[in-house]
Amino acid sequence: MKFAGLFGKRNPRRESPTGMVAVPGGTFWMGSDDHYVEERPCRKVIVAPFHIDLTPVTNAQFQSFVEATGYQTLAEKIPDAALYPDADLLKAGSSVFTGTKCPVPLNDPLQWWRYRPGARWNRPEGPGSHIRDRLDHPVVHVAHTDALAYAAWSGMRLPTEAEWEYAARGGLDRATYAWGTELAPEGRTMANYWTGDFPWRRDQIGSWTRTSPVSSFPANGFGLFDMIGNVWEWTMDNYATNDQSGFVKRCCASDCEPGGAFATKVLKGGSHLCAESYCQRYRPAARHPQTEDTSTSHIGFRCVRDV
């Protein structure tokens, strides 16, 4: 899908690697044999050098893109009835996490996801919400097409799954987390993920109950922030299971099943909704399928640039 040239002059600030980190190429062990089945097998993969955004794309950056181009995200458009023949609600909007008031069965994401008309990147919880005090938070409610459009305007692209995982590992060999082998070394919280009883009681990390400002937590070995937690991040790869089992465990990513009229892409990194008791996908090896038309209140992205 080509977007270059559709939006006029590219943003000159994004033409250079400013705000990016140079990641050396190399061979690494990708995946894991110790966690979810879709991460198997752990295998050696080679990646070429590339530059990657220091943080996920922020609301401020995405706002600059929209102001420069007049771009409308998928969440701002009325869905095409021909593409959603079974839909009950054909209104512009997006999926918003809505915590429950008490414990609920954890095998039913519809308990905590709501499709909210009017929810979009600059109205993250729907009409009446805003991003004025969240300009340094990751942009959310962006479908895969929206991420591609921003990347093309920036003169960049989305990372492959291998590039993303290699960058997230920060040079650590087969470590469970982006920072080492312990989730909370010496009791220190290293990323924005759910602490407490999902999805009804969250122990606040700082003052954030949803996304947090980018770079609020320590960088990894490559100097990259928010590779784990905060928001899931789109990659350019189509989703496929590595072990040929076809097994897909639906998780906190959304209430939408993969398949149908849309390609299914790989999400990486986990989000602020991943929890030790529910969805332990705050790890570099973790991966999740998501249809490219989906936007939610916890999916964002970052860009890469070839060397």
Q: Taking Cα atoms as reference points, which of 78, 151, 61 lies closest to residue 118?
A: 78
Asked if residue 94 lies in contact with residue 119, where contact means CB atoms within 8 angstroms, the answer is yes
Q: Which domains does the chain have, with CATH numbers?
A: 1-6+22-75+93-180+190-307 (3.90.1580.10)
The amino acid that residue 240 corresponds to is: A
Length of the chain: 307
Q: What is the pLDDT of residues 144-153, one digit of tens each?
A: 999 999 999 9
The Cα-based distances of 15 to 9, 83, 149, 153 in angstroms read 11, 36, 15, 10
Q: What is the pLDDT of residues 206-239, one digit of tens each?
A: 778 899 999 999 999 999 999 999 999 999 999 9
Give the span between the Cα atoms of 106 and 266, in whole angstroms.
Answer: 22
- Whether the link from the prior residue into 79 is cis, omega within 30° of 0, is no
Confidence label for 59 from pLDDT (cuts 50, 70 and 90): very high
Q: Which residues contact 98 (CB under 8 A, 6 or more apart)?
A: 112, 113, 114
Residue 12 has pLDDT above 90, yes or no: no
Give the span between the Cα atoms of 101 and 199, in whole angstroms.
Answer: 8
pLDDT of residue 85: 80
Q: What is the pLDDT of residues 72-103, one digit of tens each?
A: 999 999 998 888 887 777 899 999 999 999 99
Give the span between the Cα atoms of 93 and 91, in whole angstroms.
Answer: 6
Q: What is the pLDDT of residues 181-196, one digit of tens each?
A: 999 999 999 999 999 9
The position carrying tokens 């290293």 is 190
Residue 1 has pLDDT above 60, yes or no: no
**Highest mean pLDDT of the ranges 8-12, 34-38, 79-83, 248-252:** 34-38
Sheet containing 20-23: give its strands across: 20-23, 50-53, 304-306
Q: Integer distance in angstroms from the first to the last C-alpha of the chain? A: 22
Which of helix, strand or coil describes residue 186?
A: helix
pLDDT of residue 129: 97
Average pLDDT over residues 155-184: 97
Give the span between the Cα atoms of 57 and 301, in whole angstroms.
Answer: 6
